[in-house]
Structure formats: structure tokens, C-alpha cells
Amino acid sequence: METLRITQSSLSYSDFAPLFSGPILVSIDRESRSRIKRSHERLKDLLSSGQTVYGVNTGFGKLSEITIDPEEQFKLQLNLVRSHSAGVGDPMGPGLVRATLFLKLLTYVKGYSGVRPEVVNKIIKLLDNDLLPIIPEKGSAGASGDLAPLAHMTLAMIGEGEMIYKGRRLSARNALKKANIAPLVLHPKEGLSLVNGTQVSTALAIRSMLNSDILLRTADAIGALSVEGSLSSGDVFRASIHQLKEHQGQRVTAKNVSNLLSGSEIVASHKKCGTVQDPYSFRCIPHIHGSCRDSVGHAGDVINNEINSVSDNPVIMDNGEVAYSGHFHAEPVAQALDIIAIAMAELGAISERRTYFFMKGVGDRIPPFLAIKPGVESGYMMAQVTASTLASENKTLAHPASIDSLPTSGGQEDHVSMAPWAGLKLLQIQENVRQILAIELLVASAACTLFHDGLRPGKGTAPILEHIQRMVPFHKGDRVLSGEINTLSDLIGTGKVVSLVKEVIDLE
């Protein structure tokens, strides 16, 4: 297993990729462990001095004016975790749970949370043993931390929830016993610290960024194949043209598509056809894909900032002061997720338009719906209909979550971010985009195979086309398409299309 090492250095969302691939090991450097220990010592000093500390010797939220006696402070933490375990819905996937646990560690190693080193060690043991708490997807408003899902995470750590261990769903107590790990006993502030923070929202954001990196590059590659299949012009992707615009994403996309089409006999075959301007879904690929790329890039910067931030409340400052803030509020993450959602919906929308273009037929070289025997056969008619429904669904899902807010906790939490919902619906958008791109890939490959046979495709598109031709029986005419679409969608999701291209050309 790969070991992820935690130090005081910053991490990027891309560093989390192994967490979504399978089990990992974790190590923490000496400086980080020292910071954790010093922070806990500062908390102990505060408590011994009798100072009031929210959530340690007071109630929570609207009940924060109630003082908690020392003999009930342990029970306070336990009650918090139990009462806040109110999540619903399907369990989060294993990669998201691993990322959530890892993000907790990143906050604690900063040295401002006051938790004992034992808490950190327990989280490391869970990750090292791939012992994953069952965390329901829904129930967090992304405001006072991702309270409900993180409470379920903590509930499992104390032996009262459920866990996945070696592929089996077990009671947490049983799973911990099988892994020879003792349940965590919560000390003052630890329950509050574990349920506080943006870790679930940020885990969703990290997953969406990893998906976006694949989808943006894949869309450029499939878009280039559609340029060939539709007999569109390749001249519009020349670097000299796009140097006139100052948008970096546009320039990157134009370069990608130009490189993909390099040496294409299909593009060269119609240079003198007389067509001056292609439809926008082809001609404006750099402008639209590039804008999506720039938006996702900005969101990635925001998400990286959150990854490397302290997300807890209250915090114990270096001078021993208790500081109160809203560091649990996930508004930056929510807005970043909403930006990505809009970008991904647009990526799917332009892909569907390119697929639609093929349905009309192209001159005398491509018949309507790419049917080998139009009339007797319907070709790819319904595949395009499916793409259109997914693109329409994304329009609804792309409505920003961060502009919605309902007060909670008796009005104390009077503005919430809805970041977890922004993340969950974004993952659905991205799944839809994979399917839309899979349909475009199927249709563009059919056009090149059936109607441009004998002409060599571009240097970058050739390996894609050759790979798809080994998978799909294009010459059979009408057949069941759903399985092929799902197979190509899975191919896209694994990054295979991107890796095929990268074997022969650079793809940014």
C-alpha cells in the first residue's frame, strides 16, 4: 500500500488520488506530532484555570449559556456525538470516507484543536486498516461543520456506529474488535472537534476536482474526434489565432485539439470544400472548453486553500488564548463546487450539441443518424435523445446550492452554506457528463469508422479510435446501445481515453 506522509507542508487535491484508489498507510512527521501535543497541553492549562471554553464546559449552539459541571464534561462529548448522529441517505463511498478522515488529520497537525495525540493515532489506525465508518450522505448544511456526517464518523470511532471492514458491514464495536483496535474514549473538546469542520464538504470537492481533471481532457480528445467525424475545420485551433485572446484555458484547449488533429487525413480531405464557418459547438471548442477549464482551475485554488486550513471551533492559539470564529463554515467550498457544477454542465451541453449535429447527416458523406440503411435502421437517433435528457437534467442540477440557506439551531446558525449538497449533486452532474461524452465518443467513432474509412485520423485521435473499434461492432448496424454507452462511460471515468492520448502526444 502507498504511504501518505503528513508534514507541515501544503498539499493539493491531486495528492488525495490514492485515497480514492484503495487503502493507504499514513505517517506523521515529528514536528506535526509536537504541535498536536503542545495544543493539548494548552487546553489542559485552560481547563485547570477554570476558564470558560465553549463546548467543553458549556452547552452547544443555543444552549451555550449553560455551564457544564466537571463531572459531566465527558458525558457532554458523548451526548453530542450521539445526538448529532442524525444523517440519512446512502453511505458515502470508501474514497470519500478515507478523504474525510485524512482531512481531519490535516487540521489536527496544525496544532490548534487541543485534541489528545490518542485521537490522531486512532484515525491513523482506521486508515491503516481501511476500517471505514458508515457515514450517511445527507444531513449536513455545511455550516457549523459537517455535523451529522462527522458525528456518524465519530460514533463509529467510539464503537457505537457501523463500519466497513474487509468488505463487510459490521457493528463498529465488532469491526474494531476484529482489527484489534480499542474504541475511542472522548475527552473534553474531542467530540466537538471531531464533529466540527468542513471535512466532508472538502472531501466531496476533492473528488469532484479529480473527476474534472479527467473530464476536461477527455472532452478535448472526444471533441477533436468529432471535428474529424463531422468534417469540420481544424484550422480554427491554430495557436496564432488564440494568442489574440488572453484566456489561458482557451489557449490550452486550442493547443490540445490542434495536437490531437495533427496529421489527420480526414481533416485534410475536405480543406477545399468551401465551408467557411462550422457550428459553434465545433468552432468554439477552445472558448467553451477553455472557459470551463479556467473556472475549474479557480475552484481548485479555493479547494486547495481549504485543504491546508484549520477547520475547527474554538481553536487554541499559540499564546494559549481560546479563539472563536466561523472556521467550520464551508461557504468557500460551496461556491467553488457551484462554479464547477456550472462548468461541468456546460461541458456536457456542448458535447450533446456536437452529437446532435451528426443526427442531421453531413452532406453526401454521412447519412442521417449515421444509419447504414436510413429508414430501415434508426442508427444513433435514441443515443442522442439520451444525451439530450442528461444535458437537461444537468441544467436543473447546476442551480447553485450556496445561494440557499435555512436557519438552524434555534437561529444561532442563521446562515448555512449547503456545501455537501453542492458536492453531491455535482458528482451526479459529472456522472451525467461521462455518459454524454460516452455517447459523443460512440457517435464520432462511428462516423470515422463507417464513412471515413481509409483516411488516417490525427496523431492523437488515432489511438482512441483504434481502441474503440476493438470494442464496438460498428458495421453491425442497429443494435442495443446502452451497454456500449455504459462501457465507454466507464472507460472515460478511469482516465483511459486520456492515457491513450498521452502515449503519443502531450495533453494538458
Q: What is the pLDDT of residues 348-373, one digit of tens each?
A: 999 999 999 999 998 888 999 999 99
Q: Which amino acid is at 123?
A: I
Alpha carbon distance 162, 174 (integer Å): 9
Write down the pLDDT at residue 276.
61
On average, the pLDDT of the chain sits at: 96
Is the pLDDT at 152 greater than 70, yes or no? yes
Mean pLDDT of 209-230: 98
Over the stretch 227-282, which tens digit does the pLDDT of each residue have? Answer: 999 999 999 999 999 999 999 999 999 999 999 999 999 999 887 666 668 999 99
Catalytic residue among 41, 169, 265, 280: 280
Q: Is-catalytic flag, 283? A: yes
Q: Sorting pLDDT into bands at 50, 70 and 90, what band is 65?
A: confident
Provide the 3-class DSSP secondary structure of residue 188: coil
Mean pLDDT of 480-490: 98
Partner residues linked to 162 by β-bridges: 171
Write down the pLDDT at residue 437.
99
Is the pLDDT at 215 greater than 90, yes or no? yes
Is the pLDDT at 503 greater than 80, yes or no? yes
Helix 199-229 vs helix 462-471: angle between axes, to the nearest 10 degrees?
A: 90
Q: Is-catalytic flag, 168? A: no
Write down the pLDDT at residue 492.
99
The conformational region for residue 495 under phi > 0 = left, psi -120 to 50 = alpha, else beta, is left
Is the pLDDT at 111 greater than 70, yes or no? yes
Q: Are 508 and 253 in contact (CB under 8 A)?
A: no
Mean pLDDT of 71-87: 95
Q: Is-catalytic flag, 328? A: yes
Provide the 3-class DSSP secondary structure of residue 397: helix
Q: Domains in the chain and their CATH numbers?
A: 2-197 (1.10.275.10), 204-502 (1.20.200.10)
Over the stretch 384-402, which tens digit does the pLDDT of each residue have? Answer: 999 999 999 999 999 999 9
Catalytic residue among 173, 270, 283, 365: 283
Q: Are 444 and 225 in contact (CB under 8 A)?
A: yes
Mean pLDDT of 435-452: 97
Provide the 3-class DSSP secondary structure of residue 136: strand
* Host H or E run for residue 357: helix 331-359
Q: Is-catalytic flag, 54? A: yes
Catalytic residue among 328, 358, 369, 380: 328
Helix 199-229 vs helix 285-307: angle between axes, to the nearest 10 degrees?
A: 160
Catalytic residue among 40, 84, 116, 353: 84
Over the stretch 164-197, which tens digit does the pLDDT of each residue have? Answer: 999 999 999 999 999 999 999 999 999 999 999 9
For the entire predicted model, the pTM comes to 0.96
Catalytic residue among 54, 82, 118, 270: 54
Is the pLDDT at 202 greater than 70, yes or no? yes
Q: Is-catalytic flag, 280? A: yes
Alpha carbon distance 242, 462 (integer Å): 25
Q: Which amino acid is at 489?
A: S
Q: Sorting pLDDT into bands at 50, 70 and 90, what band is 50?
A: confident
492559539: which residue's cell?
Answer: 317
Q: Is-catalytic flag, 282? A: no
Angle at 411 between CA 407 and CA 413, to 5 degrees: 65
Nearest of 6, 18, 187 to residue 95 by alpha carbon: 18
Q: Is-catalytic flag, 380? A: no
Over the stretch 299-310, which tens digit does the pLDDT of each residue have? Answer: 999 999 999 999
Catalytic residue among 346, 352, 413, 484: 413
Who contacts 147 (Cβ-Cβ below 8 Å, separation ≥6)?
84, 139, 140, 195, 196
Alpha carbon distance 482, 329 (integer Å): 42
Beta strand spans in 161-286 (E): 162-165, 168-171
C-alpha cell at 91: 453511505
